[in-house]
């Protein structure tokens, strides 16, 4: 049972006082004019109607509370099953970044070839695709968390820090990834242009951003580890939405 908010307690108290007053007024009005039996019947009928109205209000309020909780938990399930689930140890973002940088390292100082151009282009495209997946998961996590709160569903107290840490680490990782992709794309464009024009292919390739990309990769590794550890802490007691999130009264 959820703890009632102060507003609910005041509303309940006010409703009880109103009903008591209404009942007294109905009885007084029905009996002071005349003691006719029909007036007594009407008075009690009015009381029954008032009680029925209150019952309907309580039922509607209960229905709305259950509806909001159901919809909120539906969003919570989507948050875990469609987004958070992808951010664990099997996540290959750092692997993909590492392979792209290794190709740059391998090509650095060597002559330009069509096969190497294909390898570098493939590595860039795979990284772009995986980065977009992470960007989508980040947007979904933020959007779903906000929408859950509109239904009164919040992360449990012992899970709040883990959820926040995971999203912040993912955000930082996505931003670093965007910068790295931009630098890698510049290197690839230079390589690709040289191969397409077939001009001076024997000249050694020189990555203009290799050192910077290596530094960014280290930062991505740090954020990736933080994201995974926060995600594992979030799910340490199971993936059931009701163990991760709670209904909070307004």
Residues 183, 195: Cα–Cα separation, whole Å: 19
90 and 160 both lie in a single domain: yes
**Structural domain count of the chain:** 2
Residues 204, 138: Cα–Cα separation, whole Å: 39
Q: Which helix (H) or strand (E) holds 224?
A: helix 210-234
Residue with tokens 């977009």: 132
Question: Domain for residue 132, yes or no?
Answer: yes
Asked if 153 and 175 touch (Cβ cutoff 8 Å), the reply is: no
Better-predicted residue by pLDDT, 223 or 69: 223
Share the mean pLDDT of the chain.
83
Q: Which of the 8 DSSP states describes residue 36?
A: -
Among 48, 64, 80, the domain boundary falls at: 64
Instruction: Supply 202's token pair.
Output: 């024997």
Model confidence over 137-187: pLDDT tens digits? 999 999 999 999 988 899 999 999 999 999 999 999 999 999 999 999 999
Q: Which of the 8 DSSP states describes residue 204?
A: B
Phi first, then psi, for residue 153 (nearest 5°) are -105, 125
Model confidence over 24-37: pLDDT tens digits? 565 555 555 555 55
Q: Whose CA is closest to 232, among 91, 89, 94?
A: 89
Residue with tokens 């507003």: 7
55 and 136 both lie in a single domain: no
Question: Domain for residue 1, yes or no?
Answer: no
* pLDDT, average across residues 216-226: 97
Instruction: Supply 127's token pair.
Output: 């990284």
Asked if 191 and 112 touch (Cβ cutoff 8 Å), the reply is: yes
Question: Domain for residue 76, yes or no?
Answer: yes
Model confidence over 229-238: pLDDT tens digits? 999 999 998 8
pLDDT band at 241 (very low <50, low <70, confident <90, very high): confident
């Amino acid at each position: 049972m959820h703890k009632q908010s102060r507003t609910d307690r005041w509303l309940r108290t006010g409703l009880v006082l109103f009903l008591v007053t209404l009942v007294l007024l109905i009885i007084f009005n029905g009996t002071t004019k005349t003691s006719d039996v029909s007036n007594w019947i009407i008075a009690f009928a009015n009381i029954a109607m008032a009680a029925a109205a209150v019952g309907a209000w309580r039922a509607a309020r209960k229905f709305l509370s259950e509806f909001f909780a159901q919809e909120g938990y539906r969003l919570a399930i989507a948050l875990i099953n469609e987004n958070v689930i992808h951010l664990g140890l099997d996540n290959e973002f750092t692997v993909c970044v590492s392979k792209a940088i290794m190709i740059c390292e391998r090509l650095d100082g060597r002559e330009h070839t069509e096969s190497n151009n294909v390898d570098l282009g493939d590595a860039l495209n795979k990284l772009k695709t995986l980065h977009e997946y992470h960007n989508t998961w980040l947007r979904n996590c933020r959007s779903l968390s906000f929408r859950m709160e509109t239904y009164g569903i919040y992360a449990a107290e012992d899970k709040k820090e883990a959820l926040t840490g995971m999203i912040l680490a993912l955000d930082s990782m996505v931003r670093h990834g965007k910068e790295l992709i931009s630098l890698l794309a510049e290197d690839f464009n230079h390589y690709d242009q040289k191969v397409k024009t077939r001009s001076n292919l024997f000249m050694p390739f020189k990555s203009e951003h290799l050192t910077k990309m290596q530094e960014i990769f280290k930062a991505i590794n740090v954020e990736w580890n933080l994201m995974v550890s926060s995600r594992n802490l979030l799910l340490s007691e199971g993936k059931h939405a009701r163990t991760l999130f709670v209904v909070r009264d307004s």
